[in-house]
Amino acid sequence: MPSQITNYQCPACTGPLHFVGSSGRLECEYCGSSYSVQEIEALYADKEEAAEAAGVQAQSAEAAQAAEEYSFQQGAEGLKVYSCPSCGAELFCDETTAATSCPYCGNPTVVPSQFHGQRKPDYVLPFKLDKKAAVAALKNFYKGKKLLPRAFTDNNHIEEIRGVYVPFWLFDGRVTADIRYAATRVRSFTSGKYRITETNHFDVRRAGTLDFRRIPADGSKKMPDPMMDSIEPFDYSELKPFSTAYLPGFLADIYDVSAEEASERAVRRACSTSITEVNATAAGTYASCTPVSQQVDMPRFQAHYALLPVWMLATRWNDKTYLFAMNGQTGKLIGDLPVSMGRWWAWFFGIAGPLAAVLAAILFLM
């Protein structure tokens, strides 16, 4: 039975191939050969097809077996077991894992059946920044953080760094907005001994549509939403039609949050922006303009499925894991850092003390 997974190996030396963002090619770190995405796609088309077919067949068999009994391969932990075609080791993967590397032989592996049918992404945004850039960005991120414990920067070491293609839903849609306002215009003038303030009241209504394109919402339960939102934006002009040839060397997950579920966040964001835009058309000529009723919605949308590049970095300090995410295309890095209360108080007294002394000198001595 053919393997369900594909190893991308150098055609020249059979060493593992990795996609390198800076060159946009797949490179062999052993013999130095490099290949374009198209060349590898052509070389591995047959293998992938066979692996996909095997995977689909296995999934069907598992589904049939699951109807009668628990699948030993999809046990309580929801893991899938694959066999590495290079070294034969068993790979235990999450249900959503689509690309990983063998922990024994280090060969990058892709599970083509995970991208079968509806689960095949429309686009992939290749990594542009490598692991070194991510490490450098993290070190740079620590700079200027006044409350960061010194021991964190001194003793902290990166526990894990992973380049992950995160599944994202990109929503295109049209928001319809219908908002009514109570608005006023005010005029003041003098008449005899009186200052007269005249307020004209208006019933204002604005209705219309606004188009949004590719609002991202991550489709992975494993990824914290605030982190994925905070590393936006991605430059969509570099989106490529999906190909597994971009995945070797990185991890990739398939979505486990449906487009319907993810759309709630995207629609909420689009509506918020739409309200502001429509308000601006109403408020311009009035002294006050207060919304009294509004109907804003995105009744229809189109979801595109894309894999976007994210570097996930984990560090450990004081028995606590700190997670950081970096946009693999732009280098924007975010994450929460520990706060040193000692430093907090030092800054507090360092500011308050001298300021109090200066104020006292001004108020009592001058």
Place of tokens 């929503």: 171
Contact (Cβ atoms closer than 8 angstroms) between residue 169 and residue 301: no
Q: Contact 26/126 with Cβ under 8 angstroms?
A: no
- Helix (H/G/I), strand (E/B), else coil: 239: coil
Residue 266 binding another protein, by CB under 8 A: yes
- As measured in angstroms, the least distance from the Cβ of 196 to another protein is 5
Q: Does 81 bind another protein (CB under 8 A)?
A: no
Q: Could you tell me if 236 and 194 are in contact, meaning their C-beta atoms sit under 8 angstroms apart?
A: no
Closest to another protein by CB, 118 or 190: 190
- Selected from 124, 308, 310, 325, the binder of another protein by CB under 8 A is 325
308 binding another protein? (CB under 8 A)? no
The reply to whether 72 sits near another protein by the rule CB under 8 A is: no
Backbone angles phi, psi at 117, to 5 degrees: 60, -125
Residue from 69, 154, 197, 237 binding another protein (CB under 8 A): 197
For residue 272, what are its two tokens?
């918020």
Q: Binding segment for another protein among 36-44, 63-71, 120-128, 269-277 (CB under 8 A)?
A: 269-277
- In the complex, the smallest distance separating the C-beta of residue 231 from another protein, rounded to whole angstroms, is 9
Tokens of 123: 């686009």
Greatest CA separation found in the chain? 101
Which residue intervals of 20-92 are DSSP H helices?
37-68
Size of the site for another protein (CB under 8 A): 71
Among residues 68, 69, 198, 260, the one that binds another protein under rule CB under 8 A = 198
φ, ψ (nearest 5 deg) of residue 232: -65, 160
Span from 47-55, 73-81, 192-200, 240-248 in contact with another protein (CB under 8 A): 192-200
Residue 327's SS3 state is: strand
For residues 282 and 129, the answer to whether their CB atoms sit within 8 Å is: no
Residues 121-150 binding another protein (CB under 8 A) are 144-148
Query: In whole angstroms, how close is the CB of 50 to another protein at the nearest point?
Result: 40
Q: Which stretch binds another protein (CB under 8 A): 24-32, 84-92, 248-256, 348-356?
A: 348-356
Least distance from another protein to the Cβ atom of residue 307, Å: 19
Position among 213, 235, 287, 342 found at the interface with another protein (CB under 8 A): 213
Q: Which of 26, 37, 183, 308 binds another protein (CB under 8 A)?
A: 183
Contact stretch for another protein (CB under 8 A) within 2-10, 106-114, 228-236, 238-246 = 228-236
CA–CA distance, 134 with 359 (Å, rounded to integer)? 46
Q: Hey, how many other C-beta atoms are within 10 angstroms of the C-beta on 87?
A: 12
- Integer-rounded Cα radius of gyration of the chain: 28
